[in-house]
């Protein structure tokens, strides 16, 4: 025994001793006081979110019940519900409906295009291919938003690439027939709701693909096989197994596409027919007229819509699997 330990001590070099400097003492203090550690970790984000972010949002929203004097063009702290009441007059109501309709359409469009891509990425792509897809999906996000928006105005213009391709294919009459349809149509693609829909769908698509991809990746492939094994056709497997399990991802993605469309004010200016969106209205009210109370009332609309949407998604069981 003593011989063995003597041998070991001669054979092995001595380990350096742990030194107890102030850094170690601090680590030990944080190790022993878990609450203090967590408090220190959370303090910066709490300050940022709680004070700067939520605080300023609340300040803005609270203005919605202030009074705007149109004669004096000034805001006074007299409390009123007039701003919300005037949201209901047809001119304003139209703006809300127009924006909401486009937000719903863009959300559905991005789901329709994004889901197959996300499914392929999650269940079929190998590691290299998946990397390629991730870069491919996110690459457009690296370019400036305004550049992409202007690029689309060129693409959609009457002398643009899309018109040229359709003319070469002899499909121009089809486009013209589509553009004659009410609501989605217009004089040209660049001034139609269809064109605006295409641009918004393109711009927000990555925000839909990524959450759906993450959700589908958590669905074991065996569940889809089990469904087929139990007699379900692919369509039934999709509606009964894949879609319900991927739904939280769809909801997460649609929160992005929905709220980003509700808040956009540049694309509605550059592409599509005339007619304001909520974002344009807020911009005009605040920037041009200085009617901050009415702008704040308009700002409440997307918040209320998203809240209603989340409540609905919750009732549909979107968050049960989380």
Partner 1 sequence: MGIAIAFKDISKHYGEVSALKQVSFSVEEGEFFSMLGPSGSGKTTSLRLMAGFEQPSSGSLSLLGQEAAGTPPYARDVNTVFQDYALFPHMNVLDNVAYGLMVRKMPKAERHALAQEALAMVALPEHGKRTPAQLSGGQRQRVALARALVNRPRILLLDEPLGALDLKLREQMQVELKVLHRKLGITFVYVTHDQGEALSMSDRIAVFNHGRIEQIATPRGLYHQPRTRFVADFVGSANVFAADVAQALCGKRQSFAVRQENILVSAAGSAPIDGALLMPGELLTVQFLGASQRLEVQVGSQVITALQADKSSASSSLIESNLFEPGLPVTLQWRAQHMVLLDD
Binding residues for partner 1 restricted to 131-150, rule: CB under 8 A:
none
Give whichever of 158 and 240 is closer to partner 1, judged by the CB atom.
Answer: 240
CB of 246 to partner 1, least distance (A): 11
- Residue 229 found at the interface with partner 1 (CB under 8 A): yes
Beta-bridge partner residues of 76: 67
Tokens of 120: 């392929």
Q: Does 228 engage in binding with partner 1 (CB under 8 A)?
A: yes
In the complex with partner 1, the residue whose CB is nearer, 245 or 255, is: 245
| Binds partner 1 (CB under 8 A): choice among 52, 177, 226, 316 | 226
Count of positions on this chain that bind partner 1 (CB under 8 A): 20
- Is residue 222 within the footprint of partner 1 (CB under 8 A)? yes
Which among 41-49, 173-181, 222-230, 305-313 is the span making contact with partner 1, rule CB under 8 A?
222-230
How many CB atoms are located within 10 Å of the residue 255 CB?
A: 17
**Least gap, CB of 310 to partner 1 (angstroms):** 19
* DSSP codes of every residue in 150-167: HHHHHHHSTTSHHHHHHH
Question: How far apart, in whole angstroms, are the C-alpha atoms of residue 99 and residue 268?
Answer: 9
> β-pairing, 67-69 with 74-76?
antiparallel
How big is the CA angle at 105 (ends 101 and 109), to the nearest 5 degrees?
Answer: 170
Closer residue to partner 1 (CB): 35 or 222: 222
Task: Determine the Cα–Cα distance for residues 303 and 133; give it in Å rounded to an integer.
Answer: 33
The mark string for 37-66 relative to partner 1 (x by CB under 8 A, - otherwise) is ------------------------------
Per CB under 8 A, the list member of 230, 289, 303, 316 interacting with partner 1 is: 230
Pull the structure tokens for residue 155.
């693409």
- Are the CB atoms for 157 and 249 separated by under 8 Å? no
Which one of 177-185, 191-199, 297-305, 314-322 is the stretch in contact with partner 1 (CB under 8 A)? 314-322
Q: What is the DSSP string of 44-96?
A: HHHIIIIIIIIHHHHHHHHGGGSEEETTTTEEE----SHHHHHHTSHHHHHHH
Determine, following the binding rule CB under 8 A, whether residue 244 of this chain makes contact with partner 1.
yes
In angstroms, give the least distance from the CB of 244 to partner 1.
5
Place of tokens 């499909």: 171
Task: Please pick, from the candidates 245, 255, 270, 300, the single residue that binds partner 1 as defined by CB under 8 A.
Answer: 245
Contact footprint for partner 1 (CB under 8 A): 220, 222-223, 225-233, 236, 240-241, 244-245, 317, 320-321
């Amino acid at each position: 025994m003593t011989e063995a330990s003597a041998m070991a001590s001669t054979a092995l070099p001595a380990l350096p001793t742990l030194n107890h400097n102030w850094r170690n003492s601090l680590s030990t203090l944080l190790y022993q006081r878990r609450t203090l550690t967590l408090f220190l970790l959370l303090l910066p984000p709490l300050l940022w979110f709680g004070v700067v972010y939520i605080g300023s949002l609340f300040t803005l929203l609270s203005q919605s019940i202030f009074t705007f004097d149109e004669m004096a063009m000034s805001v006074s702290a007299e409390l009123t519900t007039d701003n919300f009441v005037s949201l209901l007059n047809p001119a304003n109501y139209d703006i809300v409906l127009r924006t909401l309709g486009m937000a719903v359409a863009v959300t559905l469009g991005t789901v329709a295009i994004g889901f197959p891509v996300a499914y392929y990425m999650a269940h079929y792509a190998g590691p290299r291919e998946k990397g390629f897809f991730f870069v491919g999906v996110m690459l457009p996000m690296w370019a400036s938003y305004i550049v992409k928006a202007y690029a689309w105005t060129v693409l959609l213009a009457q002398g643009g690439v899309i018109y040229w391709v359709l003319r070469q294919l002899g499909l121009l009459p089809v486009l013209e027939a589509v553009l004659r349809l009410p609501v989605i149509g217009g004089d040209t693609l660049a001034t139609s709701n269809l064109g605006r829909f295409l641009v918004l769908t393109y711009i927000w698509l990555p925000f839909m693909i990524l959450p759906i991809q993450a959700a589908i990746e958590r669905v074991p492939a065996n569940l889809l096989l089990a469904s087929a094994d139990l007699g379900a056709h692919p369509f039934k497997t999709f509606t009964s197994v894949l879609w319900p399990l991927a739904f939280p991802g769809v909801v997460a993605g649609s929160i992005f596409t929905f709220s980003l469309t509700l808040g956009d004010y540049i694309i509605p200016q550059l592409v599509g027919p005339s007619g304001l969106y909520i974002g344009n209205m807020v911009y005009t009210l605040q920037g041009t007229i200085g009617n901050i109370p009415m702008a704040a009332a308009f700002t409440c609309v997307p918040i209320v819509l998203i809240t209603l949407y989340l409540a609905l998604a919750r009732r549909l069981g979107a968050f049960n699997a989380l």
